[in-house]
Structure formats: structure tokens, C-alpha cells
Amino acid sequence: MTLFYVFAAVAVLASMLVIAQRNPIYSVLLLIASFGALSGLYVLLDAPFVAVTQIIVYAGAIMVLFLFVVMLLNAPHEDTEFDEHVHPLRRPGAMRLGAVLAAALIAELAWALSRTGAATGGDFQVAGVSSVRAIGRSLFTTYAFPFEVTSVLILVAMVGAVVLARRDSGPSVPPGA
Amino acid sequence: MPTLAHYLVLSAVLFCIGTAGVFVRRNLITILLSIEIMLNAVNLSFVAFGRALGSVDGQIIVFFVMTVAAAEAAVGLAIVIGLFRHRESLNPDTFTSLKW
Amino acid sequence: MPAITPLLIAQLVIIVVVFHALLLSAAAMVWVERRLAAALQQRLGPIRVGWQGLLQPFADVIKLMFKEELRPKAADALLFALAPVISATCAFAAFAVVPFGGETTLFGLLPEGMRLQVADVNVAALVIFAIASMSVYGIVLAGWSSNSKYSLIGGLRSSAQMISYELSYGMALVSVLLVGNSLSLTDIVNGQAGAWFGVIPKWFVFLQPLGFLIYMTAGVAETNRAPFDFPEAEQELVAGYHTEYSSMSFAMFFLAEYINMVTVSAVATDLFLGGWHGPFLPASLGWIWFLLKVGALLFFYVWMRWTLPRYRYDQLMKFGWKVLLPVSVVNLLVTAAGVLYFGG
């Protein structure tokens, strides 16, 4: 139980710091810490494969991509028409409306969760399925179609990312050809 | 022992933090990071429900969500790079007019 | 609080032993590398400090400890300090799930057998892969936080190289997992016990020769060793991502590099070379065979460094993506077909 609270506290604290940091590199690193905590929570939920995949895919690949882009763009600080010395979370205008909406969302979710009651209150009744074999079997039989579609999705995303990030090159036909 | 309610509350809190980040921050990369927080909160919720129902489907859906998040991050960052090259700014408020 | 049983104490002892063994192996590798390089280049190498130069690594460490710890003024202090910590931590952590011995009762001290492994996780192979992908951060943060062009280019090149070769590494790993039929390293090693016709051991290297080559190549590239060590090439980039580091931070990076080498060799031994199984010795003394096999692989590592010329960076990336990745995918397909046909 304490382990759950430790991981949960790290995840929440790191996420709050992510949205409060001015420097995007620190945001990325704090998000990696949050992912690590979530990975620990997955292990507590008897899902070791998901935990390891979280580290490999999210913390090890997606965040490296974010880090590369932040370094490439080299724009570490937010620049707005407001005073730069005011922390992002304290600026007036759209910020306040955004903060109010976020607070409203929290209140609504808290209310909704308080009404679920006994359905989610007890300990886990059944045993979890933690074997990778079961995941693999289900993935390649019941969910084979989404699996193949996902691979096409990744291909499309790769091609799209390369095309979108490409600098506009010169004429495609060399002059005189 | 942590019950399903604990995990759901944590997932809700993380989701709200992510949403607050998207609303409040004026930096495209931080907005994308907040979207990743939201996706992770949803993943946690799926795995918790999968555990509670004793089904492996929760973990499978997480697998797909992670893949989609990776694809979305890649394309989103490519768009951010394109936008940055044009206007030298990562503030979404500089991209308010439809003119390129 | 769990009860203080002899098993718990033995587990704690294992953790301490593995940690110190890794530190000593890094020190030993410093000596081995310099003497072996000297032998390959027909010169003597360090022979004066202690008998046959065996105290040379300790002399190096003492020298490094007394050096001044510098930090460039424009460097990001937190990240500059964090980067070597991340590198070293990931290097040590990866060894936590590597089994290096069979069931042993420690000469009868324990009531029941205990495997020589710090943590027995049933997804151990994936954990190693996960920690390998985390070690990219140490390098990329070192390159960025030093605020120097050599470091930045070296750091970005090195991390791009590591994430490119991770794919082939993973594919070769998956091929072995198909043959070994489990994700747990202990099960894979136990599947290699015994011998065909009583003579040829049932190691997976004989079933997966191409996979072994791919794994070792990708492992060498992952650990930034020659011939893939362009990012830290002395001639081209001063010293790459650790240009601005001195004293113990520099030592941390080198420690991380040597321990990564040891981990890659140890995992290759477990996956392909039969781990701790070998003739003439009972299973409880199998760690001796393990050390011998890891030593052989480390010898190849050092031999490769001082024999082969360095790959240029674009040749390196081209090789990783256009040659190694397709070959590893084909290897995976052929392995899967083989497993399906021969019934596992």
C-alpha cells in the first residue's frame, strides 16, 4: 500500500512540475520520472509487460524524440507579449480561463468518482492476467486486425513526419536534364 | 491494499493535470507533453480496469494507445518543427491568423 | 517487514557482491584493455605499477579523484551533474536481472537452493532492453548540458547511433526469445543445458549464428565501442560528449562504458552461449564457466577495438539502418518459420 502511495505521489508531483516548468528540457525529464512512477504502478497491477513496454516505448523512445526536438529548436523559454518574468501559471487572460476550466474538470471528476461507491471499493476479486503469453495470444488472434492496422498507422506517421519536417528543397528536376 | 477506486482517482487527477497543462501553457512542446500525460492517465485507467475484471484486454488496449501516442507525438513534433521554422516562435498565440 | 531469514541475508549479500564485482570488473577491464592493446601493438603497456601493472587501474582512479572538478560557466549545472549519474546508474541497473549461476546452496549454508541473480523477473530480457534505452539519456544530456559544440555534436550523434542500433538489438533478442520460448533469462539458460550427441553443447549460438553476430554487433554499437565509437573519437571530436567533464564525472562515464560492455557480454553469454552450463563442474559452481565465457567475449571486444578501423558516422548509420536492420528482420522471420516447422 505504501508503495502505491509512493509511486502515485511521484507521478502526480512530477506531472504538476511538468506543466509548471519554464524550461522544456526540465519538463521532458520530469515527465520521464512520471512515466517511471507509472511503470511501477503497472507492476503493482500485475502487468509487468505493460510496465516494461512503457519504459521502452514512452520513456525510451518518445521522450528521446521530444528531447531531440527541444534541442533542435533551442527555444528554451516561453516568450509571450506579457512580461517574461511572470511565471506562466500566473499570467492573466486566457490563462485564468484555462485554469478555471481545469479546476472545474477536477471538481466534476471528484464528484463522479465519489458516487461510484461499492462497485470500485473492494479489493480486486479475481486474479489478474500477467503472462506475456496470454497477451500475445490475444493480440494475434482476437486483435489481429487492429494490430496490422497499427503497423500501417506507424508507417503513415513515419512518412508524414519525414515529409512535414523536411526543408523545402530546390526544384526536383535538375536544370538542363 | 489499493483498490480500483485508488487507481481511478489517481488516473483522474493525472488527466486533469494534463488538461490544465493544455489549457494554460503557451508553449507548443509543453502542450504536447501535457497530451502525453493525459494519454498515460487513460492507460493507467485501462490497466486498472483490466486487472479488476481479470481480463487481458486492458493491457492490449494500452499497447494500442501507446502506439498511437508514439505516432501522434512524431507527427505533432514534425508539425511543430515546421511551424517554428516559419515564425521562429513556439507560442501558439503567434499562429492565430489563417494566413501562413 | 519481511522476516530476517538466511535467504534474505543471502539476497543482500548477492546485491553487495554483484555491485563490487562490477566495479572490480571495470577496473580489471582497464588493465586488460591496456595490456592487450600493448600486446596487439607489440609493445609492453603498463608493467611497473604493482606486479605486471595490476595496480594501474587503482593508480588511475586515485589520479582522477585528485583532479579538479570543472564545470563550464554556461553549462546547465543540474543536467551537467545528472548526466554521468544516469549513465552509471543504468549501467549497474541492467545487471540486476542477469543470472550468473545455477541453483546453489552456498556450500550448504542455505536451507534451499537460490539462484545467483539479483532479481528474478519473468520479463528479464525486456528489462535489459528497457534499461539500455534509458542509458541514451545520460549521453544526450551530457552533450546538451556542456554547452560546447563538440559535446553537443558528439552527444547527438552518439544518441542517434544508440537508438538506431537498438532496433537490431531488439530483433536479435526476439529471435532468441522465440527459440528459448520464454522471456525469463533463467529459463533461456536452462533451455541450453545438455548436449547433442553428448559432444556439441545445446547452446543457442549454434541454432542462431546470425542472431549472435547481429546481437554482438548491435551491442558493440550500443556501448559506443570501436569500430562504432565515432562519437567519442579522439581525432575528430576532441572527446565527444564527455569533452567538458573531468575528474570523477569522467570516471563515471568510463565506468558506465565498461560496465555496459560487461552487461552486453553477460547477456550474450546467457542468451547464446549457455550461461553457466559447462562440463566437469556441478551446477552450483557454474559461475566459473560464466566468468570464462564473459571473459572470452570481452577479449573479443578489446581485440576488435584495436584491430578494426573506425566507421565514419554516415557509414555507421547507413550500416545500422540499411544492412543490420533488414538482416535482423530476415533472421527473425526465418527463426519464426523454423520454430513453427520444427514444433518449438
Q: What is the grid cell recorded at C159?
A: 544518441
State how far the Cα of A44 lies from the Cα of C183, in Å rounded to an integer. 19
C4 CB contacts (<8 Å, ≥6 apart)?
A: none
E strand residue ranges, C130-274: 195-196, 200-201
State how far the Cα of B16 lies from the Cα of A108, in Å rounded to an integer. 10
Q: What is the grid cell recorded at C265?
A: 557480454
- Tens digits of residue pLDDT in A127-138: 767 778 888 888
State how far the Cα of B56 lies from the Cα of A50, in Å rounded to an integer. 11
3-state secondary structure of C104: strand
Phi/psi of residue A86, nearest 5 degrees: -85, 130
pLDDT for res A92: 63
Query: Does the structure show a pLDDT above 80 at C95?
Result: yes
Interface of C with A (CB under 8 A): 76, 79, 121-123, 126-127, 129-131, 133-134, 136-137, 140-141, 144, 152, 156, 159, 163, 183
Residues of C in contact with A64 (CB under 8 A): 133, 136-137, 140, 159, 163
Instruction: Tell me if the domain spanning A1-77 has CATH number 2.102.10.10.
Output: no
Q: What is the grid cell recorded at C266?
A: 553477460
Query: Does the structure show a pLDDT above 80 at C32?
Result: yes
Query: Does the structure show a pLDDT above 80 at A24?
Result: yes
Residue % of chain C over a pLDDT of 70: 85
Q: What is the grid cell recorded at C160?
A: 542517434
Q: What is the ipTM of this complex?
A: 0.90
Q: Which of B9, B72, B89 sits opposite A79 (nearest CB)?
A: B89
pLDDT for res C274: 81
Instruction: Say if the Cβ atoms of A167 and B85 lie within 8 Å.
Output: yes
Instruction: Say if the Cβ atoms of A69 and B69 lie within 8 Å.
Output: no
Residues of B in contact with A88 (CB under 8 A): 24-27
Identity of the amino acid at C213: L
State how far the Cα of A89 lies from the Cα of A96, in Å rounded to an integer. 8
Query: Residues C309-319: what's their mean pLDDT?
Result: 86
State how far the Cα of C115 lies from the Cα of C101, in Å rounded to an integer. 6
Query: Does the structure show a pLDDT above 60 at A77?
Result: no
Query: Residues A83-107: what's their mean pLDDT?
Result: 68
Q: Which of B52, B73, B81 sits opposite A165 (nearest CB)?
A: B81
Q: What is the CA radius of gyration of chain B?
A: 17
pLDDT for res C314: 85
Q: Which of B14, B60, B75 sits opposite A157 (nearest CB)?
A: B75
- d(CA A83, nearest CA chain C) in Å: 24
3-state secondary structure of C201: strand
State how far the Cα of B59 lies from the Cα of B43, in Å rounded to an integer. 8
Residue % of chain C over a pLDDT of 90: 13
pLDDT for res C100: 78
3-state secondary structure of C192: coil
Mutate to test the interface with B, among A17, A56, A62 (most CBs of B within 10 A): A62
3-state secondary structure of C205: helix
- The residue that leads in pLDDT, C259 or C187, is C259
Give the CA distances from residue C22 to residues B81, B90, C132, C258, in Å, rounded to whole numbers and listed in that order.
43, 45, 17, 9
Instruction: Say if the Cβ atoms of A116 and B84 lie within 8 Å.
Output: no
Query: Does the structure show a pLDDT above 60 at C109?
Result: no
Instruction: Say if the Cβ atoms of A124 and B4 lie within 8 Å.
Output: yes
Q: Which of B60, B75, B84 sits opposite A135 (nearest CB)?
A: B60
Query: Residues C233-259: what's their mean pLDDT?
Result: 73
Q: What is the pTM of this model?
A: 0.87
Q: Which of A18, A24, A42 sits opposite B21 (nearest CB)?
A: A18
pLDDT for res C242: 67
Residue found under cell 553477460: C266
State how far the Cα of A37 lies from the Cα of C73, in Å rounded to an integer. 33
Helix A63-73 vs helix A24-44: crossing angle, to nearest 10: 180
State how far the Cα of C65 lies from the Cα of C246, in Å rounded to an integer. 10
Residues of A in contact with B5 (CB under 8 A): 113, 116, 120-121
Cis ω before C279 (30° cut-off from 0):
no
pLDDT for res B46: 94
Q: Which domains does chain B have, with CATH numbers?
A: 4-95 (1.10.287.3510)
Q: Does residue C171 contact residue C328 with C-beta atoms inside 8 Å?
A: yes
State how far the Cα of C259 lies from the Cα of A141, in Å rounded to an integer. 41
pLDDT for res C9: 79
Nearest Cα to Cα of residue C328 among C219, C214, C220: C214
State how far the Cα of C95 lies from the Cα of C121, in Å rounded to an integer. 12
Q: Does residue A69 contact residue A28 with C-beta atoms inside 8 Å?
A: no
Query: Residues C36-42: what's their mean pLDDT?
Result: 87
Cis ω before C227 (30° cut-off from 0):
yes
Q: Which residues of A20-49 are buried (b: 16+ CB within 10 A; e: fewer)?
A: bbbebbbbbbbbbbbbbbbbbbbbbbbbbb
Question: CB-side exposure of C159: number of CA atoms within 13 Å?
Answer: 28
Which other chains touch chain B, taking contact as 3+ CB pairs less than 8 Å apart? A
3-state secondary structure of C142: helix
Q: What is the grid cell recorded at B83?
A: 511551424
Instruction: Say if the Cβ atoms of A16 and B17 lie within 8 Å.
Output: yes
State how far the Cα of C293 lies from the Cα of B88, in Å rounded to an integer. 55
Query: Does the structure show a pLDDT above 80 at C91?
Result: yes
How is A6-47 classified by DSSP, letter by letter? HHHHHHHHHHHHHHH-SSHHHHHHHHHHHHHHHHHHHHHTT-
Instruction: Say if the Cβ atoms of A61 and B84 lie within 8 Å.
Output: no
Q: Which of A52, A53, A71 sits opposite C144 (nearest CB)?
A: A71
Mutate to test the interface with A, among B31, B39, B77, B93 (most CBs of A within 10 A): B77
State how far the Cα of B70 lies from the Cα of C162, in Å rounded to an integer. 19
Q: Which of A32, A60, A132 sits opposite C123 (nearest CB)?
A: A132
- d(CA C296, nearest CA chain A) in Å: 30
Residues of B in contact with A156 (CB under 8 A): 71
State how far the Cα of C151 lies from the Cα of C145, in Å rounded to an integer. 9
pLDDT for res C119: 64
Q: What is the grid cell recorded at B14?
A: 493525472
Instruction: Say if the Cβ atoms of B81 and A116 lie within 8 Å.
Output: no
To the nearest 10°, report the CA torsion of A133, C171, A70, C70: 110
pLDDT for res C342: 82
Q: Which of A48, A61, A67 sits opposite C140 (nearest CB)?
A: A67
Q: Which of A141-145, B28-32, B56-60, C50-54 has the lowest mean pLDDT?
A: C50-54
- d(CA B38, nearest CA chain A) in Å: 10
Report the DSSP pairing between strands C195-196 and C114-116. unpaired
Query: Does the structure show a pLDDT above 90 at B65?
Result: yes
Instruction: Say if the Cβ atoms of C134 and A59 lie within 8 Å.
Output: yes
Query: Does the structure show a pLDDT above 90 at C332?
Result: yes
- The residue that leads in pLDDT, A16 or C121, is A16
In chain C, what are the domain boundaries?
66-342
Query: Residues A144-154: what's their mean pLDDT?
Result: 94
Q: What is the grid cell recorded at A158?
A: 513515419
State how far the Cα of A61 lies from the Cα of A100, in Å rounded to an integer. 34
Instruction: Say if the Cβ atoms of B70 and A73 lie within 8 Å.
Output: no
- d(CA C343, nearest CA chain A) in Å: 17
Q: Does residue C302 contact residue C32 with C-beta atoms inside 8 Å?
A: yes
- d(CA A122, nearest CA chain B) in Å: 6
pLDDT for res C270: 87
Query: Does the structure show a pLDDT above 60 at C210?
Result: yes
- Tens digits of residue pLDDT in C63-83: 888 887 777 776 678 888 888
Q: Does residue C227 contact residue C308 with C-beta atoms inside 8 Å?
A: yes
Instruction: Say if the Cβ atoms of C163 and A61 lie within 8 Å.
Output: yes
Model confidence band, residue A177 (pLDDT cutoffs 50, 70, 90)? very low
Q: Which residue of C has its CA nearest to A61?
A: C133
C114 CB contacts (<8 Å, ≥6 apart)?
A: C7, C10, C11, C103, C104, C105, C106
Residues of A in contact with B48 (CB under 8 A): 45
Q: What is chain A's mean pLDDT, rounded? A: 81
